[in-house]
Chains A and B, each alone.
Chain A
Amino acid sequence: MAEISTIKSVRVDALVAMRIVKHATGAYPTTVYGSLLGMEVDGVLQITNAFPFPTSTEDDSSSSALTPKNKGVMWYENEMIKCLREVNVDANNVGWYQSTTLGNFINSNFVENQAHYQSKMSERTIALVYDSTKGAQGGITLKAYRLTSQFMVAYKENKFSSENLQKHNLTYKDILQELPLTLYNSHLATSLLHQLSIPPQPPSILPVSLTSLTNPPTYPTPTYPLTSNFNALDLTIDPVLEKSCDLLLESIEAHNTEANNAAYYQRSLAREQAKISAWQQKRKTENSVRAAQKLPPLPEDEWSKLFKLPQEPSRLDAMLISRQVEQYARQVDGLTATSSAKLFALNGGIPRF
């Protein structure tokens, strides 16, 4: 098996981060998709530009999601890259991005898209996933993923039977590989950020009444400096936590359905096999009787014509669901970790009268 890719980490430009956030926020709660441009330097994938995919195309008005595999989207992507090349943008397609709510992005669609990129474009493409729900709580939740090479091999063969999985040593944990991600500011962007963070000048005159304090006069022009907000100090994560738990339960439900399917297959397989062995037994005794009567023996492999073994259901869905459950569980874990830290801190600080 070839070594996993040459990309070791991902560096995202401030511009790209802002573009994705803006696109995702503008279309919330719809999932949005877009293309990433950049280049790879010494194992670091530098993503320097991004553009959104169109919301509708003329030649394809079907309601199917406009994902990177769509023909119209591919045309759009190529046109856009051709245009951007003229203004000195790093015009290499290095992947795509999508928005998500609470990490519910692991499904066959995601895998199909990324597999499409990794097989058609190049091995060195990634998917950026931006979580807009968590983004509202503070910080930026941007993750870079790619499919592992083991998974790609299995995906190309399109065989996800238990045998095959065992052969490739593939478990649900090996579907996606998360790459370390850093955010990068250009010198000019750094300069801009510094300027945006200059706190407002305190007014020279003290406010005269309550209303003048709460509704400051419009002159001097109100500025919105980048002073930090206190979302991170919020104690109530309950709505988010509850939603995450709901999603977790849903995916467990789906997992159970898959489990039942697999169990059903297992049972019917066992039943068929029992029938076959009974038939083989019968044929054997028949043959021994015929041998005693000096007659030619009947063929013993006729069973494959008489009985049909059930097809093993693809294990891909089950794997993806498992991965999704894990994603949710991790998320819940992360949420509760910060929350309990805050609670412990606060509990220690409450004055006891």
Chain B
Amino acid sequence: MDRESFIHLTKPAVTSSTTANPLQVVICAQALFAILDHSLRRSPDQERVIGTLLGVRSEDGSEIEIRNCFAVGHNESQEQVEVDMDYHKQMYNLHLKANPKEILVGWYATSPELNTFSALIQNFYASNGDGTYPYPAVHLTVSSNPGKDITCRTYISSSVGITPDRAADSCLFVPVPYEIKYAENERNALEALSLGRTSLDRQVSNIVDIHGLEVGIVELLEMLNRVSSYVSQILAGETLPSVAIGQTLMNSLSLAPKIDAPELEKLFNTHLQDVLLVSYLANTIRTQIDLSNKLATITGTLPSQPQKTENKRQRERE
């Protein structure tokens, strides 16, 4: 993901508000998908759409994990902005029922632009009462311009303005760092989804284990090639050697178990035979069940043949 570099310093503790403390934002991939989906579903005359971000905040408030989001309708014109606050509240309550742990942490918009309306909305989300006060509200912008990279930016705000009137409708957006995270299961799902990223119809069908295996093997071979070409480059004196990398390679190579070939082959074959036997038994059980049900519908009795298979299997497992 494209990111800008910026420096983030803790302000000296002069103000009582905690809203400008640096914090780390973690975005779950799922929320991004939801935002993009919302962006696709906006009406043609809408420049951007907004929604509420839900997530978890660490105890000291220094880390925010954006886990979920929902869309909120809004209307923007030259002069004014209207956000459906009742809708926001209703949706928020509904979401809380399903996921009591995920609380309000901020809002998103699907345009990288920040304008006066952004400040107004930001101040609502960060406000006392319905908002995230005393914690800062996170503003996430996800650009979804066709033909461009999808860029995310996360901001928190700090109030500016001399009079309370001015402060109410303006704020200073402070960029904060973020990272995109996914759990192991989500990662697997993403991988399956990304199989379709190169196909024209953007679909993935026939999700089979073998596919993952193939991808894994190809990747592994690539890595091995990279390592071996690197090593031969060093041997030829073309690149600078690195002790650390050498040591790591050495360590990995020494992980190979030292068993003599016949022993290894024997172990292998036993394991293989076990696996094949289990597979055979599973198929036998299927046949037995089929047979048992066929007989059952004919005579009205369920003969208890599977017993035999079961005993066999138990013996095998022991």
B9 beta carbon closer than 8 Å to chain A: no
With A189-B33, A197-B194, A208-B244 known as contacts, the answer to whether A333 contacts B185 (CB < 8 A) is: no
With A185-B193, A342-B213 known as contacts, the answer to whether A259 contacts B292 (CB < 8 A) is: yes
B112 beta carbon closer than 8 Å to chain A: no
With A262-B301, A340-B272, A350-B264 known as contacts, the answer to whether A188 contacts B282 (CB < 8 A) is: no
A152 beta carbon closer than 8 Å to chain B: no
B314 beta carbon closer than 8 Å to chain A: yes
- Among B96-154, those with CB < 8 Å from A are 97-100, 144, 146, 149-150
SS class of chain B's interface: helix, strand, loop or mixed?
helix
A248 beta carbon closer than 8 Å to chain B: yes
One of A100-108, A229-237, A286-294, A299-307 contacting the partner:
A229-237
A277 to B126, CA, bound (A): 85
A314 beta carbon closer than 8 Å to chain B: no
A229 to B212, CA, bound (A): 9
Q: How distant is A159 from chain B, measured CB to nearest CB, in Å?
A: 14
Which residues of B have CB within 8 Å of A123? none
Which residues of A have CB within 8 Å of B265? 347, 350
A297 beta carbon closer than 8 Å to chain B: no
| B204, A52: Cβ atoms closer than 8 Å | no
| B276, A340: Cβ atoms closer than 8 Å | yes
Q: How distant is A86 from chain B, measured CB to nearest CB, in Å?
A: 6
| Complex: chain A residue closest to B96, CB-CB | A54
| B306, A252: Cβ atoms closer than 8 Å | yes
Select one of B87, B202, B293 contacting A171, CB under 8 A. B293
Which residues of A have CB within 8 Å of B181? 224
A154 beta carbon closer than 8 Å to chain B: no
Which residues of A have CB within 8 Å of B87? 83, 86
- Among A1-38, those with CB < 8 Å from B are 11, 13-15, 17-19, 21-22, 24-26
A299 to B186, CA, bound (A): 74
With A189-B36, A193-B194, A221-B3 known as contacts, the answer to whether A138 contacts B282 (CB < 8 A) is: no
Which residues of A have CB within 8 Å of B33? 14-15, 18, 189, 192
B283 beta carbon closer than 8 Å to chain A: yes
B197 beta carbon closer than 8 Å to chain A: yes
With A183-B203, A259-B304 known as contacts, the answer to whether A252 contacts B310 (CB < 8 A) is: yes
A342 to B184, CA, bound (A): 22
B307 beta carbon closer than 8 Å to chain A: yes
| B245, A80: Cβ atoms closer than 8 Å | no
| A22, B30: Cβ atoms closer than 8 Å | yes
One of B11-19, B160-168, B215-223 contacting the partner:
B215-223
A153 beta carbon closer than 8 Å to chain B: no
| B184, A136: Cβ atoms closer than 8 Å | yes
Q: How large is the interface on B (under 10, 10 to 19, 20 to 34, 35 or more residues)?
A: 35 or more
| A182, B209: Cβ atoms closer than 8 Å | no
| B216, A232: Cβ atoms closer than 8 Å | yes
Q: How distant is B180 from chain A, measured CB to nearest CB, in Å?
A: 6
With A14-B193, A221-B177, A340-B272 known as contacts, the answer to whether A53 contacts B98 (CB < 8 A) is: yes
| B247, A210: Cβ atoms closer than 8 Å | yes
| A233, B213: Cβ atoms closer than 8 Å | yes
A325 to B149, CA, bound (A): 49
A322 to B296, CA, bound (A): 12
Q: How distant is A253 from chain B, measured CB to nearest CB, in Å?
A: 8
| B37, A49: Cβ atoms closer than 8 Å | yes
A295 to B279, CA, bound (A): 72
A204 beta carbon closer than 8 Å to chain B: no
| A329, B186: Cβ atoms closer than 8 Å | no
Which residues of B have CB within 8 Å of A256? 304, 306-307
| A226, B190: Cβ atoms closer than 8 Å | yes
- Among A93-148, those with CB < 8 Å from B are 132, 135-142
With A185-B196, A333-B282 known as contacts, the answer to whether A18 contacts B186 (CB < 8 A) is: yes
Select one of A255, A266, A352 contacting B301, CB under 8 A. A266
A309 beta carbon closer than 8 Å to chain B: no
Which residues of B have CB within 8 Å of A184? 196, 202-204
B38 beta carbon closer than 8 Å to chain A: yes
| B301, A263: Cβ atoms closer than 8 Å | yes
Interface string of A51-87 (1 = CB under 8 A from B): 1111111000000000000000000100110010011
With A195-B149, A206-B240, A329-B282 known as contacts, the answer to whether A190 contacts B197 (CB < 8 A) is: yes
Select one of B99, B193, B279 contacting A183, CB under 8 A. B193
| B286, A326: Cβ atoms closer than 8 Å | yes
| A252, B300: Cβ atoms closer than 8 Å | no
Q: How distant is A306 from chain B, measured CB to nearest CB, in Å?
A: 24
Which residues of A have CB within 8 Å of B81? none
- Among B166-210, those with CB < 8 Å from A are 177, 179-194, 196-197, 202-205, 207-210
B315 beta carbon closer than 8 Å to chain A: no
Q: Which of B41, B146, B248 has the most CB of A within 10 A?
A: B41
Select one of B179, B268, B304, B307 contacting A350, CB under 8 A. B268
Which residues of A have CB within 8 Å of B268? 343, 346-347, 350
Interface string of A222-265 (1 = CB under 8 A from B): 11101111111100000001100100110011011011101100
A260 to B307, CA, bound (A): 12
Interface string of A198-234 (1 = CB under 8 A from B): 0000000011111011100000011110111111110
CB pairs A–B below 8 angstroms (22 shown): A19-B34, A22-B30, A88-B41, A136-B184, A139-B208, A162-B297, A183-B204, A184-B202, A186-B36, A188-B144, A191-B150, A208-B242, A210-B244, A224-B179, A252-B285, A253-B310, A256-B306, A328-B282, A336-B276, A336-B282, A339-B275, A347-B268
Binding site for B on A (CB under 8 A): 11, 13-15, 17-19, 21-22, 24-26, 48-49, 51-57, 76, 79-80, 83, 86-89, 132, 135-142, 162, 165-166, 171-172, 180-197, 206-210, 212-214, 221-224, 226-233, 241-242, 245, 248-249, 252-253, 255-256, 258-260, 262-263, 266, 312, 315, 318-319, 322, 325-326, 328-330, 332-334, 336-344, 346-347, 350, 352-353
9 extra interchain contacts, Cβ-Cβ under 8 A, other than A229-B191, A252-B306, A326-B286? A18-B30, A88-B43, A139-B211, A142-B207, A228-B219, A256-B304, A258-B302, A337-B279, A338-B213
